[in-house]
Amino acid sequence: MGQPLLIGVAGGSGSGKTTVAKELYKQFEYESVLMIEQDSYYKDQSHLTMEERAKTNYDHPFAFDNDLLLAHLQELLHRRPIKKPVYDFKVHNRSSEQVLVEPKDVIILEGLLILEDQRIRDLMDIKVFVDTDADVRIVRRIQRDIEERGRTLRSVVSQYLTVVRPMHLQFIEPTKRYADVIVPEGGYNRVALDLLSTKIRDILLQKGL
């Protein structure tokens, strides 16, 4: 059996990258497919106080445990199971819980900065960057952080202006140059999603999966 197909889906916060990844997953849900979120691989911060953890810059490459993510991807590509970490944003730390993930023919890796680390980038068969206007991204982030993470509007806007936007311009936007495919407007771009699905199926046939 051939090596699994690894697809990376990157993009800024609120770009729609998660929607794209989930739509691709749905296209193959009756086949052998799994999804890994880079958000699961934020570093363990047990050694820090709650006050220190609350200051974490989640949009900086240093926030991620890329060594663990790389090791887990290599295990899955060799068709060995992993125990994926779980991150709890309410306490700004990794949970004691882990999720057993079995290897599959198609691995979809989704996250802000998955194209930033060359070691991880080089494992990918297809690299996707979801490109969405900044005004759309901030509105989506406000909705998510208020509804899902219990944040206030003031705190979300403050974080966006002082951290999210500068980090996007410095670290995330530049990774677009590594993408094989750029998808404007995220999950609403049905043409791009259909083209991606077709390409994935072609590669799976070539790999004999």
The predicted-structure confidence for 123-179, as pLDDT tens digits, reads as follows: 999 999 999 888 888 888 888 888 887 888 888 888 888 888 999 999 999 999 999
102: left (phi over 0), alpha (psi -120 to 50) or beta: beta
What does the longest C-alpha to C-alpha distance in the chain come to? 52
Partners of 82 in beta bridges? 101
Alpha helices (runs of H) in 28-152, residue ranges in sequence order: 50-53, 66-77, 118-121, 134-149
CATH code: domain of residue 19: 3.40.50.300
- Confidence band (pLDDT; 50, 70, 90) for 14? confident
In the predicted model, is pLDDT for residue 120 greater than 90?
A: yes
- DSSP letter for 58, please: T
C-alpha Rg value of the chain to the nearest Å: 17
Residue 150 near residue 144, CB atoms below 8 Å: no
Q: Are strands 126-131 and 93-101 parallel, antiparallel or unpaired?
A: unpaired
- pTM (predicted TM-score): 0.89
Instruction: Label residue 173 exposed, middle or buried (CB < 10 Å: 0-12, 13-18, 19+).
Output: middle
The predicted-structure confidence for 86-109, as pLDDT tens digits, reads as follows: 999 888 889 999 999 999 999 999
In the predicted model, is pLDDT for residue 63 greater than 90?
A: yes
Supply the pLDDT for residue 153. Answer: 87
Q: What are the φ and ψ backbone dihedral angles of 3, each rounded to 5 degrees?
A: -70, 140
Taking the alpha carbons of 108, 60, 43, 138 in that order, is the dihedral positive or negative?
negative
The predicted-structure confidence for 177-198, as pLDDT tens digits, reads as follows: 999 999 987 767 888 889 888 9
Determine the structural domain holding residue 43 and report its residue range: 5-207
Domains: count for the chain: 1
Q: Are strands 106-110 and 5-11 parallel, antiparallel or unpaired?
A: parallel
Supply the pLDDT for residue 175. Answer: 96
